[in-house]
Homo-oligomer: A and B are copies of this chain.
Amino acid sequence: MSHNSFGHMFRVTSWGESHGPAIGCVVDGVPPGIALSEADIQPFLDRRRPGQSRFTTQRREADEVRILSGVYQGQTTGTPIALQIENTDQRSKDYANIAERFRPGHADIAYHWKYGIRDPRGGGRSSARETAMRVAAGAIARKIIGDGVMIRGALVQMGPHGIDRSRFDWSEVERNPFFCPDAQAAVAWAEALDAVRRDGSSLGAVVEVVAEGVPPGLGAPVYAKLDADLAQAMISINAVKAVEIGDGFAAAALRGEQNADEMRMNPDGTIRFLANHAGGILGGIATGQPIVVRFAVKPTSSILTPVRSVDAEGNDIMIETKGRHDPCVGIRAVPVGEAMMACVLADHWLRHRGQIGAMGTPTL
């Protein structure tokens, strides 16, 4: 048991505060003999890195990852892999004025009540900066599950603004600063977010992550369901308040015959599903269909608009956040969601191999 560890056989333990000397994680359980260097991890961190457009926080971090153990001559050795990123742009002064003030919608008051003490600089341990380590661990997880599994994420809603599903195009995702799969929506979003940013406000978002090529049989029943582990993984990301698999909440409105994903034999003896309401998971176990997860990210409460709060002396106060923040934290949650998908799949990959043996081709 550890409040700061994730996974079982592929196990990530993270540490670090936003404005401490560094953040890091230990990734244990990685199979030996996998080619790995910082160059395999850095591109994923760069996707998440702040300050890349005017739509993310202007904090400037190189976010340069170092591998400190577990790799020898370019290959994993099966021993724990320590990853570390130094915090270079900390500007603690931005936060000094909120040390004794509790920002609404933030974890300040909850940490205060739980621990009686907290590192207030940049949110301390509750900062989304921790998600950099998830992204780094996810890069290693991808190496375990291999190129046969493709994991992609996209922002499918920003504030009240959705996308047009008929225009969904994965190749658009890398062409705009929102990871938006709908080119037209991206244009509209830019305008909307500029306005929100000027207002000193923020927007929520919905992220969709899809994994294709996941071998049927991955997962486990009852309490280790693949979807249950995915839900935990996604909601553990900062600011995430909801998660759904496949049709999710929409499934509640369906009738049984609409929701059942019917099956037919292919000429080559494999099975094809005629729909994917289930989002690729039945009974907690992968069916080989794309695994589809969506999660909602709340708007950050670090806004310029003053809101009512209290301080540590018990005074009613007004509070506004002057530090650098993301007008839509959901944008940078896209690579984080992809990483958590990779981590959950890698964990179940090793767990499956442990109990059952190698993953075979599903035949009847």
Contact = CB atoms under 8 A, between A and B. Distances in A.
Contacts of A113: 216-217, 285, 287-288, 362
27 contacts: A5-B13, A5-B28, A14-B223, A15-B80, A16-B69, A69-B125, A72-B124, A113-B285, A114-B217, A125-B222, A159-B252, A203-B256, A204-B252, A206-B249, A223-B236, A225-B236, A228-B231, A228-B235, A242-B245, A259-B298, A260-B301, A262-B307, A262-B308, A264-B316, A314-B364, A350-B355, A358-B358
B246 A243 contact: no
B241 A246 contact: yes
Copies of this chain in the oligomer: 4
A284 interface: yes
A13 B1 CA distance: 11
Interface residues of A, number: 158
Given A202-B256, A216-B110, A242-B242, A1 B6 contact: no
Contact of A107 (B109, B229, B260, B283): B283
Interface string A238-258: 100111111111111111111
A106 interface: yes
Contacts of A305: 256-257
B68 A22 contact: yes
A244 B242 contact: yes
A148 interface: no
A21 B68 contact: yes
